[in-house]
Amino acid sequence: MSDESRPSPAEMPPDTRASTRTAAVIPAAGRGVRLGPGVPKALRALGGTPMLIHAVRAMAASRGVSLVVVVAPPDGAAEVKSLLDAHALPERTDFLVVPGGESRQESVRLGLDALPATYDTVLVHDAARPLVPVDTVDAVIEAVRDGAPAVVPALPLADTVKQVEPAAVPGEPEPVVATPERARLRAVQTPQGFDRETLVRAHETVTDNVTDDASMVEQLGLTVMVVPGHEEAFKVTRPLDLVLAEAVLARRRLNDGF
């Protein structure tokens, strides 16, 4: 099929995707200690709804996604399952809950292990990015279906970035080692999209501790492609991010006319 005639994921009817099925894996097994004490980060409420439910809905909003696998805290899988049952989710999408692991990497691998063989494209999306717009999700899926082994959404940086020699004691002054050229840097978001076979191979091969899945594919020697990210796809990490997330939700409600 030529690029011109290829339908975007948004245009595809759910029943004609047999050869290009996409599943989303949401690692949600972290405690989120930087957000302060309390319930695990993914279960914190935003606009009265748990952050995880927002993230699940953000993936299911794409007509290209027909399965969402949530990786829950190891001792919280039953709780997460009832949470999903208690919230309205699109009927065309299936949901699975699996217990997570010690690290984000292990949690993603456990999610991948649970995927039926019929899925050949996989998104990995942080539960901590609850507000990613559907256009960003669709752009990632489309770039994978166009042949990229791995795709990340990313934004240019507002801040200049310095590489430092980390101080032994946090808070102590740190010497600058280098200043990378800002115009060539991007801040990477999720969902990150993968050819399934490539991501499975990356998880089998790369044992270093990494902070995102795409860097594992880079370590295989493959090229990861960047598509434009979105400012609303930010990661809820610190208390101020919760304030911003509530403001984004309030703006959406206003724009939707509620």
Q: Which is nearer to ligand C5P, 71 or 202 (CB)?
A: 71
CA dist 21 and 241 (Å) reads 33
Contacts 24+ apart (CB under 8 A), 204-212: 209/103, 209/105, 210/105, 211/104, 212/152, 212/188
Give the total of residues touching ligand C5P (CB under 6 A). 16
Strand pairing category for 65-72 and 94-99: parallel
Segment 69 to 98, residues that bind ligand C5P, using CB under 6 A: 71
Residue for token digits 């995927």? 115
Nearest approach, Cβ of 24 to ligand C5P (angstroms)? 13
Contact 122, 115 (CB under 8 A): yes
Interstrand relation of 163-164 and 45-46 (parallel, antiparallel or unpaired): unpaired
217 binds ligand C5P (CB under 6 A): no
**99 CB-near residues (< 8 Å, 6+ apart):** 29, 71, 72, 73, 74, 75, 77, 110
Rounded Cα distance between 157 and 128, Å, is 20
β-strand partners of 71: 27, 98
Which stretch, 5-13, 75-83, 103-111, 130-138, contacts ligand C5P (CB under 6 A)? 103-111
Give the nearest distance from C-beta 31 to ligand C5P in angstroms: 8
State which residue, 22 or 192, has the beta carbon closest to ligand C5P: 192
In the complex, the smallest distance separating the C-beta of residue 123 from ligand C5P, rounded to whole angstroms, is 13
Cβ-closest position to ligand C5P = 30
Task: Please tell me whether residue 233 binds ligand C5P under the rule CB under 6 A.
Answer: no
Binders of ligand C5P among residues 34 to 53 (CB under 6 A) are 42
Binding segment (CB under 6 A) for ligand C5P, from list 4-12, 27-35, 176-184, 201-209: 27-35
Residue 209, interface with ligand C5P (CB under 6 A)? no
Q: Which residues bind ligand C5P (CB under 6 A)?
A: 27-30, 42, 71, 100-104, 107, 126-128, 237
